[in-house]
Amino acid sequence: MTIQGLIGKVMGGTQYFHEDGTADAVTAIRVGPCTVTQIKTLESDGYQSVQLGFEPVKRSNKPIQGHLKIAGGQLFRFMREVGVTDIDEVALGDEISVSMFDVGDRVNVQGTSKGKGFQGGVKRYNFRGGPKTHGQSDRHRAPGSIGAGSTPGRVLKGMRMAGHMGNAKVTVRGIKVVTVDTDKNILLLKGTVPGGHDSLVKISKTM
């Protein structure tokens, strides 16, 4: 397959039982079908890729309508770029389905991790916390020393401290494809993927 990835939505986690009786924890993802809405070439854009549209909608704003007019006029809720190996084999309006993946393939999944809000060092960075005895009454989840006094006399950049956790772009690499359901456009991947139920992910083949 020329196109290296697809867009999907996380359905949730479940179990998949193999014929030998063993089971794997898997994540079900509804993948595609996606439509090619734009082709980027070295001559016009300086690099080559394709833009895919996912989840058709009936209404959109005027800029999106104008952008998608050249690809047939179908409107989409989501559009993302994916890599392509041979740009000459792709045409505007082509529909790409989950059948591009095979059982046993290794894929990279990119999505937005679950937002956890403001969290302390113990949850955010797995800090050990302070002692529970010897007169320590309020240091159980404190970070400890965050720097020296006179030199440098400030907190160094990048110090691991309490702060906003999650809600960031995360890529998990080398996830194994357990099974492919071409009738329902469902992909079962071994293990977990970034994000929660109904979150958008981009699945690409591991190069």
Q: What is the pLDDT of residue 91?
A: 86
pTM: predicted TM-score of the whole model, two decimal places: 0.84
Distance CA 106, CA 24 (A): 16
Per-residue confidence (pLDDT) for residue 68, from 0 to 100:
87
CA distance 116 to 101: 32
Distance CA 125, CA 156 (A): 17
- Answer whether CATH 3.40.50.10800 is correct for domain 5-115+166-205: no
**Domain coordinates in residue numbering, the chain:** 5-115+166-205
pLDDT tens figures, 96-152: 899 999 999 999 999 999 999 999 999 999 999 898 899 888 889 999 899 998 999
